[in-house]
Amino acid sequence: TKLVTDIICPFCGTLCDDIEVEVSDDGKQILKVMNACAIGAEKFLHAQSPDRIVRPRMKQEDGSWKEVTYDEAAQYTAKILCDAKKPLMYGWSSTSCEAQATGHMIAELVGGIVDNTATVCHGPSLIAVHDVGIPSCTLGEVKNRADRVIFWGCNPAHAHPRHMSRYSIFSRGFFTTKGSKSRKVIVVDPRPTDTASVADYHVQVEQGRDYELLDAMRVALQEGPLPETVAGVPKEKIYELARLLKSGRFVTIFFGMGVTHSLGKNHNIDIAIALTSDLNKYTKAAIIPMRGHYNVTGSGQVLGWQFGFPFCVDLSRGFARYNPGESSANDLLMRGEVDASFVIGSDPGSHFPFKSVKKIHDLPSVCIDPHMTPTVAVSKCHVPVALVGIEIGGSCYRMDNVPIESRKVVDPPAGMLTDGEFLELVLAEVKRIKGVA
Ligand code: SF4
C-alpha cells in the first residue's frame, strides 16, 4: 500500500489540509482515510461505492435512464443552453475554481444566469460585506491568537466537525498554548446545541431577535443603558459578555445561517460586522462566515474576478448585472423566469422549495454530479464526473478566503471525465452552435 499525505478534504468550508489516505499499490483503491471527520471520510470512501453511476444518462419518456456518451451529453447540454432565452446555471460550490471559470465562459456565450449556493446560505453576508466591508482574518490567526471565540447561529459540532479542534476551541497555537483553556467560548443560539455544550457561555437568544442582541452588545461595550432584558437575555449577562470580549487579546466571531437566514438577514450581518469594528477600539477583533460547501468561497472569488459580483450574476443582456432577489436561482425558478436548468456541484433538489424543484423537473435540464441526488432524479440528463479533491486536483478557497490546492488521490473509474473536461466539451459545442471561434 501507499500513503498519500497532505490532502485536503473536499467536503466543508474548513478544507482540512492534513488528511492522509492509504491507497492500494496500483493507485486505484482507497483503503483507509485518516484524520478526516466522519462526513469527510465518507466522501472519500464514496469514491469506491459499488453503486456509483459511471456514465452519462438521459431520462426516457417512461422515466427510466438510458446510457449515453459524454459527447452526446455535451451536445444535449449545449443545445438546451443555446436554445434557452434565460438559462439558469446554478451550483458551482463543490467543484474547482478552474471548472467554475470554464463554466462561466459558457454562461457568457449563452447569456445565462450564474448563481451559487450562497444564494441560500451566506448571500446575505456577501450583501452585508458590500454595505459595510469586513474586518476579517485567517483561521491560522484564530488558532494562534484568538482567546475569545463566539459562534453565533452556527453549530460546527455538526456542520464543520473539525473546525473546533483544528482552529477555534481546542487547538493549541503560538499564543494559545493551553488550547481550550486559553480561550473563552460563547455560543449564541436559541437551541442547546452540541457546540453550546462545550462552550463557556451559552446565550439563548430568542428566535429571530439576533439584531436586537447584537445592537445591545454594541451599547454594552460603551456601558450604555439597556432595558432589563433584550431578546430574552438579561442585561447583566449582556454587560458581562461585553466586558469579557473587551478583556480579550483577540476576538473572533464565527456566524452561520442562524443569523443569515433569520429575521433581518443581511442587516444582522451588517450589525455583527459593526460590533466587530466597535470591538477593535478596545482590542483586536475579526469576523468569519462559516461557509458550507468546500468551494463556495472559491465560486464567489471566481465570479468576482470574471464579472465583479460574487453570486446572482445575470448575463442575459450580454453584460453582468447583479440583483439578489431578482437574479437569484430560487426566486427565478419560483417565478418561472428561466427556461433551462443546468446544475453543477450542488443539490437544489434537497434545499430548494418544492415549487422550484418542480420547475427544474419541468424544464430541459442537466445535472453534473458524481452522486445520485434528488436533483439528478428530477433532471433530464445526468452527467457523473470524477470527484474533485479525490480523483482530480484543483484550486479551492477555504472559508477564510485562503486558496488551497486540492490533490488527486486515486484514478477515477475508467473512461470517466472530470467536470472541467466535460465543461470544455460543452464550451466547444456552444462555440460551434454560436459560430464563435
Ligand atoms: Fe472535511 Fe470539514 Fe470534516 Fe474537515 S471538518 S474533515 S473539511 S468535512
Of all protein residues, whose CA lies closest to atom 8 belonging to ligand 1? 40
Q: Which residue has the cell 485567517?
A: 138
284 C-alpha to center of ligand 1: Å?
Answer: 28
Domain identity same for 280 and 300: no
Residue 22 predicted with pLDDT over 90 = yes
How would residue 314 be classed by pLDDT, with cut points 50, 70 and 90?
A: very high
**CA of 35, closest atom in ligand 1:** 6
The pLDDT score that the predictor gives to residue 80 is: 98
12 C-alpha to center of ligand 1: Å?
Answer: 5
**CA of 41, closest atom in ligand 1:** 6
Of all protein residues, whose CA lies closest to atom 5 belonging to ligand 1? 162
C-alpha to C-alpha distance for 302 and 306, rounded to whole angstroms:
6
Residue 329 predicted with pLDDT over 90 = yes
Selection from 233, 256, 33 nearest residue 157 by Cα: 256
How would residue 104 be classed by pLDDT, with cut points 50, 70 and 90?
A: very high
The pLDDT score that the predictor gives to residue 71 is: 98
The pLDDT score that the predictor gives to residue 145 is: 98
Which of 17, 37, 297, 409 should be mutated for ligand 1, with most atoms under 8 A from CB?
A: 37
The alpha helices in 285-418, defined as continuous H runs, are: 296-307, 329-334, 348-351, 354-362, 374-378
Buried b vs exposed e over 124-144: b needs ≥16 C-beta within 10 Å? bbbbbbeebebebbbbebbbb
Of all protein residues, whose CA lies closest to atom 2 belonging to ligand 1? 12
Mean per-residue pLDDT for 210-225? 98
The pLDDT score that the predictor gives to residue 437 is: 80
Q: To 10 degrees, the CA torsion angle through 311, 317, 318, 320?
A: -30
Domain identity same for 215 and 274: yes
How would residue 198 be classed by pLDDT, with cut points 50, 70 and 90?
A: very high
The pLDDT score that the predictor gives to residue 352 is: 97
Please state, rounded to an integer, the average pLDDT across all residues of the chain. Answer: 97
Residue 376 in domain: yes
Domain identity same for 401 and 341: yes
Write out pLDDT tens, residues 264-305.
999 999 999 999 999 999 999 999 999 999 999 999 999 999
16 C-alpha to center of ligand 1: Å?
Answer: 6
Residue 27 predicted with pLDDT over 90 = no
Write out pLDDT tens, residues 38-67.
999 999 998 888 889 999 999 999 999 999
Domain identity same for 387 and 324: yes
Q: Confirm if 147 and 184 have CB atoms less than 8 A apart.
A: yes
- Determine the structural domain holding residue 173 and report its residue range: 123-289
- Residues lining ligand 1, judged by CB closer than 6 Å? 9, 11-12, 14-16, 36-37, 39-40, 160-163
Distance (Å) of CA 113 to CA 3, 110, 320: 42, 9, 9
Of all protein residues, whose CA lies closest to atom 4 belonging to ligand 1? 16
Q: Give me the percent of the chain exceeding a pLDDT of 70.
A: 100
Write out pLDDT tens, residues 170-189.
999 999 999 999 999 999 99
Residue where one domain finishes, among candidates 273, 289, 305: 289
How would residue 24 be classed by pLDDT, with cut points 50, 70 and 90?
A: very high
Residue where one domain finishes, among candidates 239, 265, 289: 289
The pLDDT score that the predictor gives to residue 433 is: 97
The pLDDT score that the predictor gives to residue 70 is: 98
Domain identity same for 307 and 249: no
Domain identity same for 217 and 265: yes
Domain identity same for 234 and 139: yes
Tell me the sheet residues that pair with 186: 150, 201
CA 1 to chain centre: 34
Q: Which residues, at least 6 apart from 226, have a Cβ–Cβ distance to it below 8 Å?
A: 216, 219, 220, 235, 238, 239
Domain at 326, CATH number: 3.40.50.740
Of all protein residues, whose CA lies closest to atom 6 belonging to ligand 1? 36
Domain at 218, CATH number: 3.40.228.10
The pLDDT score that the predictor gives to residue 28 is: 87
The pLDDT score that the predictor gives to residue 179 is: 96
- Please tell me the total count of domains within the chain: 3
Helices (H) and strands (E) in the chain, counts: 18, 21
**CA of 160, closest atom in ligand 1:** 5
**CA of 162, closest atom in ligand 1:** 5
163 C-alpha to center of ligand 1: Å?
Answer: 8
Residue where one domain finishes, among candidates 289, 320, 351: 289
Buried b vs exposed e over 196-221: b needs ≥16 C-beta within 10 Å? beebeebbbbeeebbbbbbbbbbbbb
The pLDDT score that the predictor gives to residue 343 is: 98
Domain identity same for 393 and 419: yes
